[in-house]
Chain A
């Protein structure tokens, strides 16, 4: 049986901020439906990688293909199939949770039925008409998860997605952003054991370079821990 096609392909991806190299010749491929977990200390380039894959940042060298489309030239063609969850929830504090999701639903051409279903699924339906600035951090994170998966993306880019979530809330969002969602996922993590447990592939970044890359099953948590020392 043929291997599934790669949903994400990086070949020598390099990204700089001025003189500083944030990503340095990163090369890897993520098959469709697989989970890549990215490890690395703060400033290693994890968030930059996610922003390049989300089409928010241009690569300065190398090739990036998502769902068979070349970035940045064909970024417009894949935006509707990428979901991004970052440390910033990307919602307006003076709008309610429902208003925020309806705004993003309109921008993605998604019906409001999906908004209501997601609010119910993550347990926000009772507070959906309250302004976001009255929400706890965990509630904002749940709302951000709804925003990220609202348009049923094929590729999910998740920057420490369970931050601010208690175990019960993490369970609520798991069907949406976990492995069982069936999406191709790129997840950043600082938890070697937990991250490797959910990964098919692992990438360890250090100073923007791929210090470690390969199948998660072949990588030990101690190797991940070494990235941080």
Chain B
């Protein structure tokens, strides 16, 4: 319905003369707002994804702290530890993304609504993006505290945040696509990492390569521009792919 729905105005008036009634359609933006409000409301009311992801991140960083047998890491090792931790934490959020909708019939409830299916893609991706950002607010300081050497400057943190947000956008889009597929299977917790991790390898490469100079003690260089550009391109391509595929994933 994506394309056709956008071509028709919202109306609630029946057509005169026995002709098929005019469709009632709810604009995409209104549907996204409704879904996002519900999504964030459910997470605030009964927190599941964010606490699980945050706890996993911090625990993993503690394990790295002891397993690496050193108080400080820097450069490519530090970047690798950070990105692996965040990526695996994201798997938990992706696995939970559609569970309430699937188990409580919310997906059918949405599919019965006269609105564009893209609204669900946008709302779920924005919701997952918000969850990832919330987790990073906890995980990045924990990483700095447990594993990082001398604290980087504000400028370095700002560049790291920019890189993380670009990566989060890609993870959110891919995560929404994979979550929609996985929730329809019995092996949801297996399907998510099996499908998502290979697709997210470019994100990890660009994220880790971009982060390495930021976390290198001896390096005075900033964030090389090609890595955020690569992440931006990845976000764009998979955003378009998700837009094209999502209807087919959630409809019969």
Contact = CB atoms under 8 A, between A and B. Distances in A.
Interface of A: 5, 54-58, 67-69, 75-82, 84, 86, 88-95, 99, 103-104, 106-109, 131, 147, 151, 154
Contact of A92 (B21, B37, B106): B106
Contacts of A109: 10, 12, 24-26, 30, 114
A106 B30 contact: yes
A69 B46 contact: no
A92 B26 contact: no
A88 B38 contact: no
Contacts of B109: 90-91, 104, 107, 147
Contacts of B108: 56, 84, 86, 88, 90
Interface in B17-59: 18-21, 23-26, 30-31, 33-35, 37-38, 41-42, 45-46
Interface in B153-173: none
B115 interface: yes
B12 A90 contact: no
A68 B206 CA distance: 53
A107 B110 contact: yes
A56 B111 CA distance: 7
A150 to B, nearest CB: 10
B225 interface: no
B112 interface: yes
A122 to B, nearest CB: 18
Contacts of A151: 24
Nearest to A4: B18
Contacts of A90: 104-106, 108-109, 112
B187 interface: no
A99 B24 contact: no
B20 A69 contact: yes
B38 A80 contact: no
Given A91-B105, A107-B35, A107-B110, 13 more contacts: A57-B252, A58-B251, A78-B21, A78-B23, A81-B21, A89-B105, A91-B104, A92-B106, A94-B100, A99-B38, A106-B33, A107-B113, A109-B24
A94 B105 contact: no
6 contacts: A56-B111, A58-B251, A93-B104, A106-B33, A108-B24, A109-B10
B1 interface: yes
B69 interface: no
Contacts of B30: 106, 109
Interface size for chain B: under 10, 10 to 19, 20 to 34, or 35 or more residues?
35 or more
A68 B20 contact: yes
Contacts of B21: 67-68, 78, 81, 154
A125 B186 CA distance: 38
Given A106-B34, A107-B26, A108-B26, A95 B42 contact: yes
A76 B1 contact: yes
Contact of B1 (A75, A89, A99, A131): A75
B191 interface: no
Nearest to A5: B18
B24 A80 contact: yes
Contacts of A5: 18
A74 to B, nearest CB: 8
B118 to A, nearest CB: 12
A226 B198 CA distance: 56
B5 interface: yes
A153 B12 CA distance: 11
B20 A94 contact: no
B221 interface: no
Contacts of B252: 56-58
Contacts of B105: 86, 88-91
Nearest to B27: A109
**Which of A55, A56, A80, A108 has the largest count of B CB atoms less than 10 A from its CB?**
A80
Contact of A79 (B8, B19, B100, B114): B114
A37 B208 CA distance: 62
B23 A94 contact: no
A92 B113 contact: no
B219 interface: no
Contacts of B111: 55-56
B4 interface: yes
Nearest to A89: B105
